[in-house]
Structures are given as structure tokens and as C-alpha cells.
Chains A and B, each alone.
Chain A
Amino acid sequence: MNDAHCFHCGQRLPAANGKTVRVAGKRRSVCSADCERTAALIEARGLTEFYRFRTGPTGAGNVSDTGLDRWRAYDREALQREFVAADADGSRRAQLLVQGVRCAACSWLIENALGSLPGMRSLRVDPVSTRATLHWDPAQLKLSEILTQLASLGYTPIPYTEEAGDKAARLEQRAALKRLIVAGLGMMQVMSFAVALYFGAWREPQIESFLRLVSLLVATPVVFYAGAPFFRGAWHRLRARALGMDVPVAVAVGGAWAASVWHTLIGAGEVYFDSATMFVFFLSAARYLEMTGRHRALSLTGALAHHLPRVATRLVAGRPQAVGTMELQAGDRVLVAPGAVVPADGVLASASALLDESLLTGESRAVRKNSGEPVVAGSLNQEQGLEFTVTRIGAETLMSQITRLVGDAGERKPRLVELADGIASWFIGTVLLLATLVGYAWWQLQPDRAFEVVLSVLVVTCPCALALATPAAFTVATAALARRGFMVRHRGALQALSRVSDLVFDKTGTLTHGATSIVSVESCGSASAADPLAIAAALESRSEHPLARAFPAPDSALSVDAVAAVPSAGLQGRVNGRLYRIGTRRFAAELGSAGDVSGSRSSAADRLIFLGDENGLVARFKVEERPRTGAAEVLAALAGRGLRLHIFSGDQPGPVEALAEQLGISRWRAELRPQDKLAEAKSLQADGRVVAMVGDGINDSPVLAGADVSVAMGEGTTLAQHSADCVLMSESLEPLLIAVQVARRTMRVVRQNLVWAAGYNLVALPLAAAGLLAPWMAAIGMSASSLLVTGNALRLARAAAVRRPVQPARAAPDTATPAAKPCCKGAAGAAS
């Protein structure tokens, strides 16, 4: 069959498993029973529309996750108390972080599949933060049922408690939006009165003073409610004995308002309510846009911060009991199921265990631990169930401590001085001084016009365009990149990214998927009726070992029983009644008496897995880490843009060299400890190179913090993301290339904007100082200049949206996907 990818999950189909599922009237091939079940469920609910609109392949619910038992502990009151709120009528509300939500189609699917459950009052899924907000009636619907349903659609729900930071961000956004509304509506009203006044529609003084009074009434809340942040900002800056952008803004807005009030009261002179409100509106709009971009980046990284399970299995007098993790106490004996996450720090009580500590270390290879050795919260149990004795829980665990440590370090990390801020401070000082001088001169010559001229000077030179020049460009670029899967966590990062000369990559999890894949299968003589790969897959489906993930999903026609894991060796079990062993050469060969244990050694780049039966070795599987899809093309394009590429890896030289060769990278270093990576990066920097580090693990954290700009992988550790400037949320490396291009264009736009703003001020200032500009003309000039600057910045959104230099080969697993392409991408202009 030519259609070699699974219709549901997009993975390559294992050879001829013949599984198909009928979706929207067509037969589709799927790779495993999980995908079959999930697709059939979607079909049964009549929600196949989902496949037309999703932007890419989605996950499938696997058997162990979809059972009701898996989620039953969430019905416990003690556990729900942590993240569920009860309403007065007894109904409950909760937020879930839903892993696997990719775009709006996923949220539509969840809302439609679950929204009709009896007892579900309301359900909303935000695809940006991947957060679901639930409101349900516990009398009719159990939380565990909701969670089970989510899991069977292929999404993993994680109970979510809003952190203080998230809540503050949401309140900040709402407050800013209210201010923007007040400023916008107020400005329109005041403008309409001002037009009447300018054109002198009614020369009757009574009507004129009435219009002024009404303008005062409307402008006052605009200035003091919508404009409050400027006054507060100016006050803070002044108290810190510094000049910020807010100072002249506050002086101009406050001055214009005060003078207008005075003129309204005495019934003579000009009023400038229109200029003041327009000014407040434009600045509020710019700040609102900037804030939205910032929050989006934060919420995506913050959302990944919850990794510890909320449910633990405590052994009470030898009997397992599901409890909330927070209910645990030091000294408790806790059982961790295969494939589950260790909930607390402790000491291993089982004889031996294989733990994946990649959450902490970033290394995908699991660590062998023996009885009495410490286990850390957050590590993944890779083998059979283990028992350990709790020593520390919650905030005292190693993971929480390190998270806090990195958070603190991030706060103190010196940021690149922002270009515009440096200029602005100097510029503002000059403007204020000039305005005073001009005011003094006019006071001597023509005291009655002095105020008007000073106001014109302040308004026309208002650093509005200057203030907008940088943030507008950065905001648009940040938003556009976020849509392409590249989160920029602060402005300095884009600036640094535009100057990068050397890109350094970590290997595992960055250039490669953390997971491994099988590159070749060789028969080793001993004839067997069945396909060795199918037998191996069936056996490995019972294992949580990281290498087991390399095997395809098992064929359900094969019966597997009596599977036992032998630590550091492999698995033994019966497939269709025959006894097999899979694992190291020695272990697999030992089963058969005639096994030849000696043999040719393989090159260091390969990792080999052997399958043996009672007659000796059956087959040999060569396993290797596969580079990310399209990585070679992206790297070539980056090199084509004059960037030097490096690999710094903690792995052995063999695999590193093999990968470097495959990807065409000539500079690579292997067996580097975290501090060595940092030292290597520092030596590059000492040569005057600007270094960008792309990495995913804790072992990369020091170098991520030390590089000029750092990019963490979205699937990587939370800690790495906390110490990085940018986060790459996509499966492919393509956004990195786009980010470099957009960063360069952004800096070009910023320079254009600054030159324009400065040029405009140079022309306008003398005119205003000479008294040739009325304040309203100054206000229009200022606005036009700001609009020009903003419009120039908006071009960046197009730049990021249209350019598609590398098309990942994996992107079209079925015919329906191309139609879905515009889904999350076409909206790049929405920020405008």
C-alpha cells in the first residue's frame, strides 16, 4: 500500500498490519489498535470533521490510560480539594491542562465529544494555553469519567491549579483591555466635539462652552483611568531618579488636560482634550499589543511546569491505596506502577529499578538504581512496579528546589540593554530641557502663547513614534513567531538572535527525537516461522524500557504471556506459545544451547538488540536515534545564511560523529559535561562569536544561561525552558530558521523606524519651537508618524507567515491535512 502513514497519528505504518478503520465513509489505514479505537470513537460520535481541520497528526488513547481505574482516584475528596472549586449549588469547577491539544480543531473535538455528557454544565478548551475549563454536576457525572473520556480521545489531562503568575497575567490583560476600551470610545466622542469646535459650527459662546464642558467630562476618565499607567510609570521612574518614556508622556497628557480644564473654567484660550485622549489611546493600544505577546509566551512555558502526578499509591499494611500526592508523609511506603512518575523524593525499597530521569537531566537513557539508593520525584519508572520509602514531598523535593533556583537565576540574569531605552532616556532629557528653554523664550517674547508652544513641542516631539518603533516591531515579530511555534520570552532574545554567528546544538532530544528507531533487521540463521520484528514488537510492548519505544505497535493477533524483565539484560516471554528472549546478545543467545556468544563487534554508532529462541539467535535489530524530520534541510539553510553550526553532546563520540556526518555538521564535540559545554561556548564567545545554544535538558542549563541567546526545546525539561530565552514548541527545527530570518528583518525594521522617528522629530521640533504648529497639528503629526512606524512593523507578520522554505516531509500523512493547513497559520495578521 502506498499510503504509508497512519491516518490518525501520522506515524509510519508497520509493514502490512492490515488494520483499517472507516472514517467519514472511507477506509483508512491505521498503525495500531490504539489509533483504531480512537478514530472509531471519533467516527461514532459523528465528529469526523475534526480530521479536516486539524493542523497535524494527533495522539491516540492507549489501553492503560483509557480504563476508568486509571482515573478513579481523582474522585477522592482529599485530592479534588487541591484543584476543584465547588459552587453554592453543589456543582464543581476545575481546570485541566490537556496535553496533545495542537490547534482549534482539537478543542472543538473535545468540546463536542464531552460537552454532551449528562451532567456537564459547560466545557471550554483554549487551544493556545491547552487549558480546559470544566463545570459539571458531581451528582450526575464523576470527574473520573470526564478524564477517561479525554484519555480515550488521545489527550492526557493533568489537573491544573492556576498559579499566582497566571492569574496576575489574566487580570492585567483584562484591566488593560478595559483601559483600551475607555480610551477608544472616549477618544471618538471627544474628537467629534473637537471637530465641531475647530470648524466653529456654532459661534455662539454658550454652545462652545457647553461642548468644552462635555469634552472635559469625557476626557477626564480617559486621562486618569486609561492613562493611569503612564502617570504611575512616570512617578516610579522619577522616584528612582531616572527618565523613562512615561515621563514626557505624563507631562504632555497631564499638562494638556490641566491647561484645558483651566481654559474651560475661565472660558478663554484653546482646549486640547482631543490631543490628550488620542495620545492616551494610541499609547494604550501599543502597550496592549505588546502585553498580549508577552503573556502568550509566558503562558505556554508556564503551562509545562506541572509534571508531578497528583495521585500516588500508598501501601498501608501491604495493601495499595490511591491517595493524593499531597496526602503523603515522610516514611510512607509508596508503589509506583510501570510507566508512572515517581511522586516524591525517597529511598528505593525494591531490589532494583530502571528510572528515566530525563525530566531532571534531559538524557533519554534510563538510570539503573539499586535498593537503598535515592529516587527523585519526577523520574519515570521504566520497568516493573517499584516500591520506595518517602523522604520528602511537594515543595521540599529536589525538583521543586531546582525549579526555584533556576527561577531565581533567571530573574537576576543580566538582559541586553534595550536599544530604544538607551536612546530614549537621553532623548527625553533633551526634549524636556528644550521645552523649558523654548517656554522661557516665548514667555519673554509673547507670554500668552508660551503655554501653547510648549505644549506643541511636547506633543510633537512626544517619543510616541520612538517609543513605538522598537516594541511594535518586536511585538509583531514575537506574535508571528509564536504562531509558527517559536516562543520568544523577552525582547533582548530577538535582538541577540539577529546577531548570532554560531549555532550550537545538543544532540539527544534536540537534533534527534529522544526516542530511538530501528534502522535494520537482520536474520541470524535460526529459522523461525513468524516475522522476527512482529515477535520483538509483541514482547517489547510489555516493556517500558526506552529502547522498547523503537519497536512498532504490536500485532494483536500474537498472544503474549509469561513476560519477565531481567534488569540490565532484557525480556523473556512466550509469543504464540514459543519462548523468546530479547535484549543483549548474551542474554538472547543463552536461551538456546547452541548459541554463539562471540561475534563480530559492531561500530560504536550502533546499538544492537538481539532476539533469541530455544534454538539460538533469531534476529538482530540495529537501533539508532533518528534525526528530527527535515533537520538536515533546516541546518543546510541555516549554514547557507552564514551561520556556523556545532554539536556539543554528552554522548559518546561514535553516535555523535555519525549524526554530525548525516546532518552535514563538521564541528562536533562529544563526551562533554555540562560545565565543559559552557566552557566551549565561552571560548567561542572569547573569539568574538555570538553564540546561540539550542538544547533540551538540565545538562544544557548552564550553557543555555551562558550563551548570548538560548533556545530550549518544548518537549525538553521545564528547567531548561526556564533558563532559556526562547522555546521551540514545534516538532521540527524549521521555526528556528524562520526565527533567525525574522529576527534579522526585525532589527532592520527597528532601525528604519528609529531613523524615521528621529528624522521626523528633527524636522518638527524647530517648527513647533518657532510657534508654527498648533497643538492639534502637532497631535496629527505625532499620530501619523506613529501609524507609519506601526505599519512598517506589521510587515513582519507577513514575512513570518508567507515564507515557507522547508516543507517537512511528515506534514501530509493523509489527504485531508492540506485542507487543514491554513488553520493555525493564516491568522498571522490578527495582531493588527
Chain B
Amino acid sequence: MTIIYVLIPLGLLLLAAAVWAFFWAVRNGQFDDLETPAWRILMDDDRKPPPEA
């Protein structure tokens, strides 16, 4: 079972990466508004408005 001496540190590295990614997202305001994005998905926004308006 010596493999865990490799696997656990690897897991910890992944953990560190996950924490870093979350911190990055929080710093960039990804979690500031948790409500709008949920509703946005319900609206059609791939329909392009006419070029001249």
C-alpha cells in the first residue's frame, strides 16, 4: 500500500488547485450575484437583434 504515499499528496495537490480556483473566482466577482444567472438561462439571448435599431 505504499502507493498512498504518492496518491494522497497528489490528492492534496488537487485540493490546493481547487481552493486556488475558487479563490480566483471569488476575487473576480463570480459569486457576487447568485441570482441573475439562474434566470438568464431561461431567456433567449442567442437571437441577434436586427443590425439597425
Contacts and interface: CB of A to CB of B under 8 A. Distances in A.
Interface string B10-53: 01100100110011001100011111101110111101111001
A185 B18 contact: yes
Interface centre among B5, B18, B33, B50 (most CB of A within 10 A): B33
A174 B31 contact: yes
A823 B36 CA distance: 10
Nearest to B35: A128
Contacts of B50: 44-46
Contacts of B33: 124, 126, 128
B35 A207 contact: no
Chain B: number of interface residues, binned into ranges:
20 to 34
Given A46-B48, A177-B26, A830 B11 contact: no
A104 B49 contact: no
A177 B30 CA distance: 11
B12 A217 contact: yes
Contacts of A108: 39-40, 43, 45
Contacts of A186: 15
A783 interface: no
A45 B44 CA distance: 13
Interface in A214-263: 214, 217-218
A195 B45 CA distance: 48
B34 to A, nearest CB: 7
Given A127-B35, A127-B36, A185 B47 contact: no
A827 B35 contact: yes
Interface in A178-211: 178, 181-182, 185-186, 189, 193, 202, 204, 207, 210-211
A830 B15 CA distance: 27
B51 to A, nearest CB: 10
B36 A53 contact: no
Contacts of B34: 830
A47 interface: yes
Contacts of B40: 104, 108
Contacts of B49: 45-47, 112, 116
A127 B32 CA distance: 12
Contacts of B1: 202, 204, 207
A552 B48 CA distance: 36
A214 B53 CA distance: 62
Contacts of A796: none
B43 A189 contact: no
A107 B37 CA distance: 11
Contacts of A181: 19, 22-23, 26
A596 interface: no
A278 interface: no
Nearest to A103: B39
Given A45-B49, A185-B15, A178 B35 contact: no
A827 B36 CA distance: 11
A49 interface: yes
A823 B22 contact: no
A830 B38 CA distance: 10
Interface string A33-77: 000000001001111010001000000000000000000000000
B43 A178 contact: no
A104 B36 contact: yes
A683 to B, nearest CB: 44
Interface of B: 1, 4-5, 8, 11-12, 15, 18-19, 22-23, 26-27, 31-36, 38-40, 42-45, 47-50, 53
12 contacts: A47-B49, A53-B43, A104-B39, A107-B36, A108-B43, A127-B35, A185-B18, A189-B15, A204-B1, A210-B4, A210-B5, A830-B35
Given A41-B53, A210-B4, 18 more contacts: A46-B47, A103-B39, A104-B40, A105-B43, A108-B40, A125-B36, A173-B32, A174-B27, A177-B31, A181-B19, A182-B19, A185-B22, A189-B11, A207-B1, A207-B4, A211-B8, A217-B12, A218-B15
Q: What are the 7 tightest A-B residue pairs by CB atom distance, in nearest-first order?
A: A104-B39, A46-B49, A181-B22, A45-B49, A126-B33, A45-B53, A44-B53
